[in-house]
Amino acid sequence: MATVGQPCSSWTRGSIPLSKRLPRRRFSSRTTTLTRLTPQAALVQAPPSPSAPRDNSSIQVLTLSRANDLQAEARAMTRAVNATVYNPQLIASMYGSQPVKVVRRTLQILVALGSFGLKLLLDQRSGVLDQNRRVRASELKDIFTKLGPTFVKLGQGLSTRPDICPPEYLEELSELQDGLPTFPDEEAFACIERELGLSLDSVFSSISPSPIAAASLGQVYKAQLKYSGRLVAVKVQRPGIEEAIGLDFYLIRGLGFFINKYVDIITSDVVALIDEFARRVFQELNYVQEGQNARRFKKLYADKEDICVPDVFWDYTSAKVLTMEWVDGVKLNEQEAIERQGLKVLDLVNTGIQCSLRQLLEYGYFHADPHPGNLLATPEGKLAFLDFGMMSETPEEARSAIIGHVVHLVNRDYEAMARDYYALEFLAPDVDVSPIVPALRDFFDDALNYTVSELNFKTLVDGLGNVLYQFPFNVPAYYALILRSLTVLEGLALYADPNFKVLAASYPYFAKRLLTDPNPYLRDALIELLFQDGRFRWGRLENLLVQGRMDRDFTAKEALQPVLKVLLSPDGEELRNLVIKEAVRVTEAFTLSTISDTYKSVPDFMKALVFNGNANGPIIMSEGETQNMIELRDQVFRIWGLLQSSDDFDPDLLLPILQVLQQPEARRLGERVMGGITQRLAARFLQQVLRVPTPST
């Protein structure tokens, strides 16, 4: 729920105990009492601190706690066994026999949206479309609110699409996230009793007299558990919401059939898209599923000290009631309130970006609705994620392809970028990508004139979107959600710092993944990034290490292990040839730059005696060539220094190299390197011996 952690004036005045505030007869129809909780059951709600030392007894208690937690979750699933699921055929049969209700709802929607469209048309003809934009945006927000939950969800989706809506609409529609009308408290309290099979005063010692927040599907109360005193957020579903949403999707699906049949300009299966959206919305109606989403999210991402995910209280959760740990905090877009707590918005946004990248590209399971109301800054400086009704997943192949796509973008390899769209499922395998390459080149050659820190993510997304929509692309749902997630975070940061760029904040994560991930696709992408035209790009490696070290999960021990493994593999012959050439070049640079430095330190009278007064020293090299040798040597030293300066640096990093040097293939590799070095140095000295003296003038 959007503002679970927001301060509530009614709560701060003090909640009245239920036994005193609510008439007993209100709940007298319910005779079930709360089963007494054992100390072990209480541990379900208050597990031991992960940092505490664990002896055998604490491990046993933790195991018992987890077992009780699973049992409580199983009981919650039993309570939700009859939860509503999306079935278009069942919905069609239900409302197909109710023409009066269908016609009434259709007219209500047409009148509301038709009048709004007419106002926009009149504004355009009168030349006041821009001047009235704020007024019309507010009217559209009110229309969506009056039309009910389905259109509120639609408005919420539009509020995070700056590519579709002007800023005024984004601001107005964003109020649909958590500022919606409430339904009567009596209905909410009755729903809690009915769903849990318990009287309200047997579960809670106190509860807020009115909702803390209200969203499209339900509203939230702040309460205190009677048995433990823990503060919780209790989300209660709106009454009759299944019927309301079902009727709207029946009508929208009918419109989809019409579009599929008569609108040729739209090539996608609109009905399939509607069904997918409806399926997600109906999943949100099952609060047990949302609780399971929260549990999975917490397991994957709350291992970081600056990420907070509330616990679920399964004994007080059902399909229509969700009880979760209360989280104190303020919305991430309330900059002044955050700063009053001594926190920085940009630090929290950076935390959100790093967590989002882990969600999208590491585990693939991500929060698909990260609007400001679902992201709270806690007083301890943590970023709290709330409302896990809408989740999505990035396919495994696509995760690696996205990182590889970034590498191809950096290399300006537009042919490879175009081929990435197969793995990203943007294009069918039979689509020819060759016409796409010039369009990508035209756009990115201009965009990449900016530095990474200057390139705005939204600008990049908008420009790429213009390129994509010229061709038969099918943008997957997960990709649209990824863009929305990162665009929302960048938008939040821009309130605090107009110069903030999400791409610059994301680059350390990409660098770390490239340097440490053994995934074959990413390993090849790293090699592609580091080698060009048969030469190793030491500057790229240095930059990757500098950026990667900014990610706190970076470990020097794992850095470059992927490249090392492929170098030593049977399939690494091509890479070994490149490494041999580079090893010869680096060794030559070390040798000759050292000779040059030594020569410079020799007194002038010794130079005259030993080198016959040759100003160039013992080796014939131009000043530019000498400088390049010195720069290469110094760059290698800097890279080694970056690895050594890492907190977790371990000389064992070199053990795989030492081990492979003992193998026959490695000895042949070493012989080839030494042979190449000997040839290069011999050629240098032979040139020195046979040099033609410069005539004196």
Q: What is the pLDDT of residue 256?
A: 87
Residue 544 to residues 45, 300, 327, 549, 682: CA-CA distances in angstroms? 43, 26, 37, 8, 35
Question: Is the entire prediction scored with pTM above 0.75?
Answer: no
Per-residue confidence (pLDDT) for residue 474, from 0 to 100 = 72
* Percentage of residues of the chain with pLDDT beyond 90: 24
Query: Could you say which of 201, 315, 369, 551 is catalytic?
Result: 369
| Alpha-carbon span 637 to 151, nearest angstrom | 61
| Res 635: pLDDT | 73
Cβ(68)–Cβ(41) under 8 Å?
A: yes
Per-residue confidence (pLDDT) for residue 662, from 0 to 100: 55
Question: Which pLDDT score is estimated for 151?
Answer: 87
Residue bearing tokens 């220094």: 641
Which range, 247-251, 590-594, 658-662, has the best average confidence (pLDDT)? 247-251
Spacing of C-alpha 693 from chain mean position: 66
Predicted confidence at residue 618, as pLDDT, reads 56
- The CA-based dihedral angle spanning residues 671, 673, 676, 678, taken in that order and rounded to the nearest 10 degrees: -70
Confidence class for position 19, pLDDT limits 50, 70, 90? very low
The residue with greater pLDDT, 295 or 608, is 295
Mean pLDDT of the 165-178 span: 77
User: What pLDDT is recorded for position 110?
Assistant: 93
Give the per-residue SS3 of 192-214: HHHHHCCCHHHHEEEECCCCCEE
Distance CA 312, CA 80 (A): 15
User: Can you tell me whether residue 237 is helix, strand or coil?
Assistant: strand
DSSP codes, 539-602: HHHHHHHHHHTTSTT--TTTTTHHHHHHHHSTT-HHHHHHHHHHHHHHHHHHHHHHHHHHHHHS
**Tens-digit pLDDT profile for residues 279-323:** 888 888 999 999 999 999 999 998 888 999 999 999 999 999 999
**Confidence band for 47, pLDDT divided at 50, 70 and 90:** very low
pLDDT, tens digit, for every residue of 258-276? 888 887 766 667 788 788 8
- pLDDT at site 114: 93
Domains of the chain: 88-177+242-283 (no CATH), 184-237+288-326 (3.30.200), 332-513 (no CATH), 555-690 (no CATH)
Would residue 446 show up in a list of annotated catalytic residues for this protein? no
Strands 307-308 and 365-367: unpaired
Query: Of 245-254, 319-328, 499-508, 624-633, which gets the smallest average pLDDT?
Result: 624-633
Cα 424 from Cα 396, distance rounded (Å): 10
Q: How far apart are CA 240 and CA 320, in angstroms?
A: 11
Element (H, E) at 397: helix 396-411
